Amino acid sequence: MPSGEAAHTFNDLQMNGGGLEMTSHPWLPASAATAARVRRARASCVLRQLPTVTVKWLGRYAAAWPPLVAVLPALLRSDSGRVLDAVGRVDVLPALLALADGPVDAGRLERALVTLWLALAGHPGLTAPLALPGPFRECVVDPTVPRLLDLGDARGLAATAAGPVVIARAGRAPIDRFVSAVLPAANDAVIVDERFRVPDPQVVARVRAALGAVVSVLPGGRLERVTIGGGEAVDGEARVGSDADPAALLASVQAAFVRAAATVDPVATDGGCMVEHGRRFSPADVVARASGNALALPWRPNRDTAMAGVIDDLEDFAVIAAATATGADLIAAIRALAEGGSTAPRRALLVNIDADDFVYSYQFGRSVERRCVERGLRLDRVAVNPGWRRDLGGELGGQVPAPFADGTETLMEAEDDPSLAAALRRLSVRGYEVVVVNVRPRLFFDLAAAGLLAGRTLVWDRHLHDGFREENARRGPVRRTPETSMQVWSTFGESGDEFKQMFVDAGAERVWDHVWPMDLEFFRSSATPQPGRVFAGGDSGRDWPLFIAAIRDLPFDVQLVTGRALADLPPQVRVDPRLPLWRFRDAMAEASITAIPLLPDGHAAGITVLAMAMAVGSAVVVTDTWWIAQYVTDGEQALLVPPGDVAGFRAALVRVHEDAALRARLIANARRRVAGLCDLEAFTRRMFAGVP
């Protein structure tokens, strides 16, 4: 395969921007030569990947794939340009790129393969026909003539040196028999509806006028297609609404080109993403959009607003990634086009990194998002990556919802992620109305050192207290400023005065008491409690020998969830080493009793499981420790048993099992108590009460 053009980079190109009266980056707009290099480089990349495609992903086209791969070298030797143009088409290239990584939607795959076969047909290197099996359910745009083809129930399609041939039920048939509609065109670009229909004539007229207005600044000076509809365009395509706004058309085309060019000559290093309307945009996507909107500024009716949007995109880019040399040059050119524009939106920052409790941290972050949306705050998030050695969707029992607060998102593996320091430096240049923090001690002091805690700061002390005093002694006190306003909500209750003072010494104006907040909507279960079933789970500070001794010979069905190896278990006990959180919740809800046996010195042990059991409606028998006594009262919301008291724990289990009225009262009281103490939504509303 040819490599000279594919290996070409664009830093050294000195085109003048297609006639624009400005000093511009070579991609603003791209010359015909630059656009051709990008498209052929990407097509070359796809061709190199085709032999590695997993054949099973091709479904019924699997048998057609090896002959295509086998003939490609000969086709490239005889006419490489024709092959690269065929592979680089709007319907083909994106689908083949996706196919290299995994399965592709069946309709999209069919359009890609039929279009590729049609584009290769007539190639002089085809010494034998290439066959693609039918039937065909998708209309396709003919790559050689502006028309729609509907091959229907044909048995197959063959690409030959003489052109395409359809194998119909009655034998070979010319392709012209399968034309379903003639498509309008303008400036060599076909115009088609997103559902592959002929657009309304009035829409076509508007598209032609729009293309005429912006044709001089199109990347490469031409388009393959204008698609009437929403979504993101691919390189060589414009996507535009039925109003055919020329600025929107140009912005779509330019953004698609920059996204494509960035795969050949990257504009950014790895980083976070921008979030808008529930969608995530990579750094390259952000620069691409800014590039398109900047180039379209002369056609925008409200240029000031449009310029502000461009600058805001670039400012978001600056906090999620570092620019490459190409990216820095391109961003400088974009800024020059939109100089002076910025809306300076109100912003909040959430640093929410607790890798051990990533599910609860995620739920806390979602609640913080709601508070920011209510106040019109854009939210920059630094959070644990739920896909790195974790399965957030599996823990929640479904697909993870997209973010709904606009802003940026940077995901870390843990607080010692080496990329975190650079991310904090990028974030520190922004002014935030409020910073919300859920971290451990080391990262807390890193945030302070970066200046991110200098203003209004809201801290959730879920695990911050653990080692805070030691880190404070090592790093020194947090530097305060006149603007510092820090409030802490601690998992410690009223007995934690020494810990409160620790936070006050670190700059907190006030430390509030609060049990661990929980997403009470998530902890609703439709499971029905089974009489005589006991649930016990967890590992931290658990006294499992006491529990096993207490339940021995009792007529209970016991489900125990623990990662510890336990010996001499009674026959009525079944053990799961772990369960996803949604199954843990439902297993607890199916039990009439939840047992929480604790060691006397277990640090904060049992609190999470206690609150979960109270929320799902399982009566609780729990060891009476300092932590537990802050949240429940013996005989009111739970039965509390002294540490180490096997006989007492056994008697409490029997009592709750036999006394239905007691069990009902404990459950009702516990639900009221957990709603008052642990409602996550009420908790974040309280946190944000002073934020305008």
Q: What is the pLDDT of residues 657-685, one digit of tens each?
A: 999 999 999 999 999 999 998 999 999 99
pLDDT of residue 506: 79
496: pLDDT confidence band, cut at 50, 70 and 90? Answer: low
How many helical (H) and strand (E) elements, i.e. helices and strands, does the chain have?
22, 26
Q: How far apart are CA 377 and CA 431, in angstroms?
A: 12
71 pLDDT exceeds 50? yes
Nearest-angstrom CA–CA distance, 683 and 475: 30
Rounded to the nearest 10 degrees, the angle between the axes of helix 607-616 and helix 581-589 is: 60
What's the confidence (pLDDT) of residue 17?
34
Q: Is the pLDDT of residue 7 over 80?
A: no
- Determine the Cα–Cα distance for residues 79 and 86; give it in Å rounded to an integer: 11
- Examine the pLDDT at 14 and tell me if it is beyond 50: no
User: Over the stretch 118-157, which tens digit does the pLDDT of each residue have?
Assistant: 999 999 999 999 999 999 999 999 999 999 999 999 999 9
DSSP structural state of residue 508: E
Distance CA 594, CA 530 (A): 12
Average pLDDT over residues 375-381: 97
pLDDT at 513: 76
Least confident of 202-216, 385-399, 608-622: 385-399
Q: What is the pLDDT of residue 478?
A: 81
C-alpha angle with apex 361: 356 to 367, nearest 5 degrees?
175
Express each pLDDT in 78-97 by its tens digit.
999 999 999 999 999 999 99
pLDDT band, residue 158 (cuts 50/70/90): very high
Mean pLDDT of 646-666: 97
Q: Is the pLDDT of residue 626 over 90?
A: no
Which of helix, strand or coil describes residue 217? helix
3-state helix, strand, coil in the chain (%, to 5): 45, 20, 40
3-class DSSP assignment, residue 42:
helix
d(CA 453, CA 434): 9
Contact (CB, 8 A) for 386 and 402 = no
Letter string b/e over residues 151-173, b meaning 16 or more CB atoms within 10 A of that residue's CB = beebbbbbbbeeebbbbbeeeee
Distance linking the first and last C-alpha atoms of the chain: 61
Checking if the pLDDT of 644 tops 50, the result is yes
Who contacts 286 (Cβ-Cβ below 8 Å, separation ≥6)? 274, 313, 314, 316, 317, 320
Q: What is the pLDDT of residue 494?
A: 52
Q: What is the pTM of this model?
A: 0.87
What's residue 170's pLDDT? 85
537: part of which helix (H) or strand (E)? strand 530-537
- Residue 342 pLDDT exceeds 90: no
The residue assigned the tokens 């511009």 is 24
Summarize the confidence of residues 275-299 as an average pLDDT: 96
For residues 641 and 598, give the distance between their C-alpha atoms in angstroms, rounded to a whole number.
10
pLDDT value of position 493? 57
The angle formed by the CA atoms of residues 212, 333 and 29, to the nearest 5 degrees, is 30
CA–CA distance, 173 with 195 (Å, rounded to integer): 26
Range of weakest confidence among 226-235, 480-489, 563-572, 636-645: 480-489
Contact 442, 420 (CB under 8 A): no
Contact 317, 286 (CB under 8 A): yes
Check: CB of residue 597 under 8 Å from CB of residue 649: yes
Q: Is the pLDDT of residue 534 over 60?
A: yes
Q: Give the span between the Cα atoms of 228 and 564, in whole angstroms.
A: 60
The rounded distance, in Å, linking the Cα atoms of 306 and 312 is 10
pLDDT at position 119 is 97
Q: Does 496 or 208 have the greater pLDDT score?
A: 208
Q: Choose among 484, 476, 467: nearest CA to 449.
A: 476
Average pLDDT over residues 437-444: 94
Question: How large is the C-alpha radius of gyration of the chain?
Answer: 32
pLDDT band at 16 (very low <50, low <70, confident <90, very high): very low
Confidence of residue 20 (pLDDT cuts 50, 70, 90): very low
What's the confidence (pLDDT) of residue 205?
Answer: 98
pLDDT at 149: 97
pLDDT of residue 162: 95
**Residue reference for tokens 């050119």:** 333
Ranges 8-17, 25-34, 652-661: which has the least confidence: 8-17
| Res. 446 pLDDT band, cuts 50 70 90 | very high
CA distance 149 to 161: 20
The percent of residues in the chain predicted with pLDDT above 90, rounded, is 80
Question: Which residues face 160 on adjacent strands?
Answer: 163
Report the chain's mean pLDDT, rounded to a whole number: 91
CB atoms < 10 A from the CB of 577, how many?
A: 9
Of 322-326, 513-517, 589-593, the poorest mean pLDDT is in: 513-517
